[in-house]
Amino acid sequence: MSGLQTQDRGSAVGDGLPVVTRERGQRQVFCGLAGIVWLHRKIQDAFFLVIGSRTCAHLLQSAAGVMIFAEPRFATAILHERDLAGLADCNAELDRVVAEVLERRPDIGTLFLVGSCPSEVIKLDLAKAAERLAAVYQGRVRILDYSASGLETTFTQGEDACLKALVPELPQLPSGDRSLLVLGTLPDVVEDQFARLFAELGIGPVHFLPPRRTTAFPPLGSGTKVLLAQPFLGETARACEARGAELLSAPYPFGIEGTLGWLRAATEAWGVTGEVLDAVTAPAIARAQRGLAHHRESLEGKRISFLPDSQLEIPLARFLQRECGMDLVEVGTPFLDRRLMAEEMGLLPEGVRLTEGQDLERQLDRLREDRPDLTVCGLGLANPLESEGLRTKWSIELVFTPVHGFDQAADLAELFARPLRRAALLRV
């Protein structure tokens, strides 16, 4: 039903949360295969084998910027016309490709079979294929599957599906033990910063999912407290809860306010006092404030709109409005999990235009009428909007770049200030 719009208010009428307008119609989203680009860099002993088309292969190659001789830890098993027409045995061909990959790359600890739009259209059962191949290579390599199809999803959900596939593989946390599990892919430098902060706060043991190597899977059980570093991991969070873990409610660690609130959720679970939290974080907050002051000059008072793409829109909007002084025109997000966003939605300004889903033509009409100073959108919309004189920021860049935590707060602000400064220079 193109153009369907309904309104919904958070959890209960009068709860103070912004009114959400749901839209359904034509969408412009990026493919979930993009998650492989940052996942294969993070999990150093994993290999991602996409079962898809030449388009899938070209997408990965261009998104990763990897040369053909660079030996990346991902590849595409290409489905040809005979496969799509049902004239060939796809499972036999998949077995052959997996054997070739493992012979060439003996260092692989975990092999992911990644579903795509073409493999889902022909109903190729990768779960059974993974189960069959895991039995063949038992003791040699772990073989798992997940779907990164772009059908009815957005690009960050590829990571959610991948991490959910890992949850059954995690060892059991011994009864009576407790630990903190940080959920979501983080650049190594950011992970190290957070690990140091948790150690100084007296919180531990702390584990991260995904790990840098699948030989170091974190334990999971009823004593596990889960802290989300990325807001698009709802399915993985629910899988952890099904194994007894407790999800901590917190804002996301973008900017000073979000990072402090995120750490506070962990300190409260561990019984660490507010005085200790303030003392440990004071130096990092001071550095972040100095860095943000430089970029606030470029951002304060500027108007910004978010088109739905990454599911990062709400926490980023909160950061830009509350810490950088920007005015929110519209905040669109492809999917809204009110439970995971409860802390963030409570920090949005009253009356903000908040939309879930997408009716592309309606949103573009509003955008052209609003004429914000900056629009955050997907790659497919950026150049056409630039040609209309609208400054844009690619939403996918906010996933590739280290932006979490105190020490990256200024870098995060700069990503939004840069196109505005460039536009100002071009007008001179």
Which residue has better confidence, 17 or 415?
415
For the chain, what's the residue count? Answer: 428
Work out the pLDDT band at 43, boundaries 50, 70, 90.
very high
- Which residues make up each annotated binding site for [4Fe-4S] cluster? 31, 56, 117
Domain boundaries, the chain: 4-28+285-427, 32-153, 179-277
Mean pLDDT value across residues 39-49: 93
pLDDT digits (tens, 9 = 90+) for 152-179: 678 899 999 999 999 999 999 999 999 9
- Which residues make up each annotated binding site? 31, 56, 117
Closest CA to 382 of 374, 372, 373, 394: 394
Burial class (CB within 10 angstroms; exposed 0-12, middle 13-18, buried 19+) of 269: middle
pLDDT digits (tens, 9 = 90+) for 354-383: 999 989 999 999 999 999 999 999 888 999
pLDDT above 90: residue 400: no
List the structure tokens of 300: 């304060």
pLDDT digits (tens, 9 = 90+) for 55-102: 888 777 776 665 444 567 888 887 765 544 454 567 888 899 999 999
CA dist., res. 331 & res. 308, Å (int): 8
Mean pLDDT value across residues 251-258: 98
The CATH class, in words, for 32-153 is alpha beta
Percent of the chain with pLDDT over 90: 70
pLDDT above 70: residue 7: no
Considering the chain, what is the average pLDDT of its residues?
89
Architecture of domain 4-28+285-427: 3-Layer(aba) Sandwich (3.40)
Work out the pLDDT band at 12, boundaries 50, 70, 90.
very low
- Are the folds of 4-28+285-427 and 179-277 the same? yes
Residue 121 has a pLDDT of 75
Residue 168 has a pLDDT of 96
pLDDT digits (tens, 9 = 90+) for 214-225: 989 999 999 999
Three-state SS for the chain is CCCEEEEEECCCCCCCCCEEEEEECCCCCCCHHHHHHHHHHHCCCEEEEEEECHHHHHHHHHHHCCCCCCCCCEEEEECCHHHHCCCCCHHHHHHHHHHHHHHHCCCCCEEEEEECHHHHHCCCCHHHHHHHHHHHCCCCCEEEEEECCCCCCCCCHHHHHHHHHHHHHCCECCCCCCEEEEECCCCHHHHHHHHHHHHHHCCCCEEEECCCCHHHCCCECCCEEEEECCCCCHHHHHHHHHCCCEECCCCCCCHHHHHHHHHHHHHHHHCCCHHHHHHHHHHHHHHHHHHHHHHHHHHCCCEEEECCCCCCHHHHHHHHHHHHCCEEEEEEECCCCHHHHHHHHCCCCCCCEEEEEECHHHHHHHHHHHCCCEEEECHHHHHHHHHCCCCEEECCHHHHCCCCCHHHHHHHHHHHHHHHHHHHHHHC
Q: Which CATH superfamily is domain 179-277 in?
A: Nitrogenase molybdenum iron protein domain (3.40.50.1980)
